[in-house]
Amino acid sequence: MFNKPTRNHFTIIFERLGILLFASLAMGLSSLQNSIDKMFSLDFWRSLLRQVGQQGTLSLLSGLAFVLIFCISFFISFRHWQKTFFYIDGDYFVFERRTLFKKTSKLHLSQIASVNLQRTFFERLVGTCKVKFDLNSSHTANRTDFALVLPLQQAQTLREELSCKPAADAASESAVNNQSDGIKRVFTFTGGEVLRHKILSIPVLQSLIGFAALIGAMAGEGESSPLQNPRAFLGLMLFAVIGYIFHFIRSTLNLLDYRVEWDGENFRINYGLIKNNTFVFASSKINAVFVKQPFLARLFGLYYVEVAVVGLGNEKAESPLICLLAKRERVKEILELCGADFYCSAGDIRSHKAALVSGGFYALVSAGIGFIILRLSHLPFTLPVTAAIFISALPGGFLSYKVKTVAYDEHVFHYTKGIFSKTRAMFKYGDIQDANFRSNFMFFKKRAARMTFHILSGSNIKKHRTGYFSLTDLESAAENILKNKDSSAGLLE
């Protein structure tokens, strides 16, 4: 079907112009931020209309300038749509842009890491769908390589054709590993489970710190203080609360009808009521597995599972969740499918005792900063408050030492972290791109260091870092990294 040059659906023009309209709306709202305490009164809008009438010429020129910019943007978008083509030539996908700045991309279908479908509210209205796929390449791992807009049926057909070659490669590998081909497993999450996931995933500590910072910023002195103007303060708080509630409801609706399917070779994740997303990737493309417990979820013994795959978790922060918050038994069942190759036969290794020194040092630094702030502010009880800061920071350093672990055998490497929210990260050596040890003169004498490394993925491209552990254990894990062949595929292979 796609063996001849094909264009995107013409509605992609209006999607791009929507960015311009949104920017104009954002600029208009930002210009009103200084009048937030007045905009609820009728006099404010009457005054605004009088100013527009008095400055009629300027308003007319501004309107004409906006129309001109809109027309130029429409023409550029139209030509971009008219001169952009894509097609499948045998085992290759070809993308051509025949504009003034010509571009041609040709890639083998086996290099595609994931193929995703996404439907925004606008796309659902016009019957289109966005096909987004990503290459197994570290150069573009943190962004989508190609995003095409097509009618829904054509988008589904293109996804199947693009997934055909990677699926075949995954099938051959799964046969070697003796996986259960042809056995389909489906995991669904109800609306109540989705709501539970969103509520229990709220970052409590960060929210409290943000709220305290907001109150502190408002508690200034003088007439300019928001607290001296209750109307402005209440208006600002109302906007913040309404904005958060709107964001929470929208993100919950976009997570409803969460469904995970596995056919023995590929995973298919589908979710979203307003903005629908469908992710498809081969199980062999999983580069890491993360089992996470947010602070509130730990109180109920719930976990969720996230995987690292190139293209999942791209510039839109799409989250590659294989399992929403669930009990241990359900999580184990899903881990047997996506994380069987990541199982570690060895037990956990605790942090080196030298990490206690690091915790004490950070407590001392916190107390020192608090002392300086108190002295500069001329506040009373400087020494007692400084001592209280130091004593209260010590348990944090001790808990950080207690909760961090590593585990490794000949095939995989694990680490855990998190005092409030807990994470266990699992990697195969072939997916680790590099490994570096960091220490200092004091820790090196104690043969202690921490390891940093990168993996090839979209959502977790940032470096990973362990706590302080025995240098002997970390060197043993690093030797296993060198012994294992890099299992990630690049564009030059």
pLDDT digit string, tens, across residues 345-377: 999 999 988 888 877 887 888 888 888 887 777
CA-based nearest residue to 197, from 123, 258, 136: 258
| Least confident stretch, 182-191, 256-265, 323-332, 407-416 | 182-191
| Residue burial 448-459, b: 16+ Cβ < 10 Å; e: rest | bbbbebbbbbbb
Question: What's 6's DSSP letter?
Answer: B
pLDDT at 482: 82
| Least confident stretch, 263-272, 341-350, 375-384 | 375-384
pLDDT at 100: 79
| Least confident stretch, 3-7, 52-56, 294-298, 486-490 | 486-490
Work out the number of other CB atoms within 10 angstroms of the CB of residue 335: 19
What are the chain's domains? 1-178 (2.30.29.30), 196-253 (no CATH), 345-483 (2.30.29)
**Residue 413 pLDDT > 70, yes or no?**
yes
Give the pLDDT confidence of 143-162 residue by residue, as tens digits: 677 889 999 889 888 888 88
User: Which run of H or E residues covers position 25?
Assistant: helix 12-31
Residue 51, exposed/middle/buried by CB under 10 A (0-12, 13-18, 19+)? exposed
Asked if residues 176 and 35 have their Cβ atoms less than 8 Å apart, the reply is: no
Residues 6+ apart with CB under 8 A from 202: 294, 296
In percent, how much of the chain has pLDDT > 90?
17
Asked if residues 13 and 98 have their Cβ atoms less than 8 Å apart, the reply is: no
pLDDT at 55: 57
Query: How far apart are alpha carbons 107 and 89 in whole angstroms?
Result: 10
Give the pLDDT confidence of 157-179 residue by residue, as tens digits: 888 888 755 544 444 444 444 44
CA-based nearest residue to 10, from 84, 119, 98, 102: 84
Q: How confident is the model at residue 63 (pLDDT cuts 50, 70, 90)?
A: low
Task: State which amino acid sits at residue 101.
Answer: F
Which residue would you say has higher pLDDT here, 223 or 68?
68
Q: How confident is the model at residue 478 (pLDDT cuts 50, 70, 90)?
A: confident
| Residue burial 201-215, b: 16+ Cβ < 10 Å; e: rest | beeeeeeeeeeeeee
CA-based nearest residue to 269, from 314, 306, 302: 306
Give the pLDDT confidence of 188-227 residue by residue, as tens digits: 999 999 999 999 998 876 666 666 555 555 555 455 555 5
Q: What global pTM score does this model have? A: 0.72
pLDDT at 195: 94
Q: How confident is the model at residue 35 (pLDDT cuts 50, 70, 90)?
A: low
pLDDT at 171: 45
pLDDT at 176: 41
Mean pLDDT, rounded, of the chain: 78
| Three-state secondary structure call for residue 409 | coil
> In terms of residues, how long is the chain?
493
Asked if residues 408 and 345 have their Cβ atoms less than 8 Å apart, the reply is: no
In percent, how much of the chain has pLDDT > 70?
74
**Residue 308 pLDDT > 60, yes or no?**
yes
**Residue 318 pLDDT > 70, yes or no?**
no
Asked if residues 308 and 318 have their Cβ atoms less than 8 Å apart, the reply is: no
3-state helix, strand, coil in the chain (%, to 5): 50, 25, 30
Question: At which residue do the structure tokens 């995987």 appear?
Answer: 307
Give the pLDDT confidence of 232-254 residue by residue, as tens digits: 667 667 777 888 888 899 889 98
Query: How far apart are alpha carbons 278 and 260 in whole angstroms?
Result: 10
